[in-house]
Every structure is written in C-alpha cells, then in structure tokens.
Amino acid sequence: MEKINRKELYNLSNQFIELFITDIFSKNQVNLKEAKERMTDEQREKLKQTVENLKEEVEGFLDASGKKTVNEEEQETKEKMESSRPLREKFINKKETKKKENEDKE
C-alpha cells in the first residue's frame, strides 16, 4: 500500500511541477519549442539536478509521514485500551497522578 501512495505522490508532484512551469511560460508568453532550443547543456543539467532534489524531498516526506502514521496508530491503540478499563481504575489512576504532581511541586 505504501508503494501505491508513493507512486501517487510522485505523480501528483510531477503534475504540480508541469502545471507550475506551464503557468510561468504562459504568463511570460514563452514558446516552449524556442525555449528548448535556446537552453544550454548546463541549464539542462541544473534542471535535472533540481528535479532529482525534489524527488528526494518527496521520498523523505513519504518516509517521515509513514513513521508518523505508525506512531498515530500506536497512540490510537493505547487510547482504545485506556477506554476499555473500568471507570473506577481510571479515577484511581488520575487521583494518584495528581497526588504525585503535587508532591513534585513541593
């Protein structure tokens, strides 16, 4: 499932970049064919490096969001377990926690 999300994010980021570039060209009335012809090899290389850097950032974002999702799932599981305990236990634990906090303050 993570691979599917990763592919979707890559496609989305590529579409966003294409849309952004097309918008800039149209605002500045640039002919795409002429621009490609005038582009130097150095400019093409820089553009390729920029695209690669963007891909790496997207991958890093995916990895970070995947880890965050795992942590969120653990938190939800913990909350579900907490909610399944009897009310009396919760009250006692809350009372003990407040007592400890008051002792720490003194």
Q: How many domains does the chain have?
A: 1
Domain range for 56 is: 2-105
CA–CA distance, 53 with 56 (Å, rounded to integer): 5
pTM of the model: 0.40
Report how far residue 40's alpha carbon sits from residue 100's, in angstroms, rounded to the nearest whole number: 70
Give 85's DSSP letter. Answer: S
Cα–Cα dist 13/54, whole Å:
9
- pLDDT digits 0-9 by tens, 60-98: 877 776 665 555 666 666 666 666 667 677 778 888 888
